[in-house]
Amino acid sequence: MESRLTPLALQGGFATLDEFITQLRMNPLQTLFHDQVIDALTTNETSFFRDFHPFETLRNQLIPLLITRRASMRKLNIWSGAASTGQEAYSIAMIIREHFPELRDWQVSILGTDLSPTVLSQAKEGAYSQLEVNRGLPAPLLLKYFTKVGTKWVVKDDLKRLVEFRQMNLFKPWPILPVFDLVLLRNVMIYFDIETKKEILKRIRNCIHPEGYLFLGAAETTINLDPNWETLTMGLSTLYQHKAALPIAA
């Protein structure tokens, strides 16, 4: 914390880190300094189709299953709960557009939320450097779903329409959310203490469909945190579902 925040304190003209922190505490949470602190303290590492297998499972098993189960409602709600710069949400959107043309006339919504306004503004813009698209995005998908604007690759509107980004702090009371069919909360709970992880897993149970699915990061689990989640294997992925849910084949 000290090594990440001291440069910010000095840049802001504060003599010590303590002075900087006192100033932060005295002001309401939304000053430029608070945003800079969030950026300095969070790890925003992400990439398109990160870890590969969850997206293969989505494409080969999970979305087909959800399409069958939601056929009467024709509605799918997906949440990328620590969206960072948006690659996770846009990866799901590409799978949907690329492999499930039947969803064109469904109500499909992918909500991306994050704590950091800086990463969210890039996510909303959908603009990525060459280096960022080189990480995990196959060339045919890049050419089909992005337009080159100057040095950036920008997500086309057809894909952007599926995705909405909003600021949300997982630590604070959550706003009213839709009932999700699928939640991805990947590579964020590793940074939280045990009580916070338990609380977040409980809240997810309250906003996910009883038969909905939860993906966590490869180093994250519900085990020993919340006994109400069942661990499932689908394709080469591990995912989680309410214990009371129907078996996969139902």
List residues binding ligand SAM (CB under 6 A). Answer: 42-46, 50, 82, 84, 88, 114-116, 119, 169-171, 186-188, 217
Q: Which two tokens stand for residue 46?
A: 């992400």
* Shortest distance, position 90 Cβ to ligand SAM, whole Å: 11
Cα-Cα end-to-end distance for the chain: 48
Nearer to ligand SAM, 57 or 70 (CB): 57
Q: In what order do the strands lie in the sheet with 180-185?
A: 163-167, 107-114, 75-80, 180-185, 208-216, 237-242, 229-234
Min dist. Cβ of residue 118 to ligand SAM (A): 9
Which residue, 123 or 162, is less far from ligand SAM as judged by CB?
Answer: 123
Q: Shortest distance, CB of residue 125 to ligand SAM, whole angstroms?
A: 15
CB of 185 to ligand SAM, least distance (A): 7
Give whichever of 70 and 80 is closer to ligand SAM, judged by the CB atom.
80
Nearest residue (CB) to ligand SAM, 79 versus 145:
79
* Rg of the Cα atoms in the chain: 19
Of residues 11 and 169, the one with the C-beta less far from ligand SAM: 169
The whole-angstrom separation of Cα 188 and Cα 62 is 22
Pairing of strands 208-216, 107-114: unpaired
CA torsion angle for 157, 88, 42, 23 (degrees, to 10)?
30
CB-based contact 200:28 (threshold 8 Å): no
Query: CB count, 10 Å around CB of 18?
Result: 10
What are the E-state strand segments in the chain?
Answer: 75-80, 107-114, 127-128, 146-149, 152-155, 163-167, 180-185, 208-216, 229-234, 237-242
Question: Nearest approach, Cβ of 72 to ligand SAM (angstroms)?
Answer: 31
Please say which residue, 122 or 241, places its beta carbon nearer to ligand SAM.
122
Closest distance to ligand SAM from the beta carbon of 226 (Å): 18
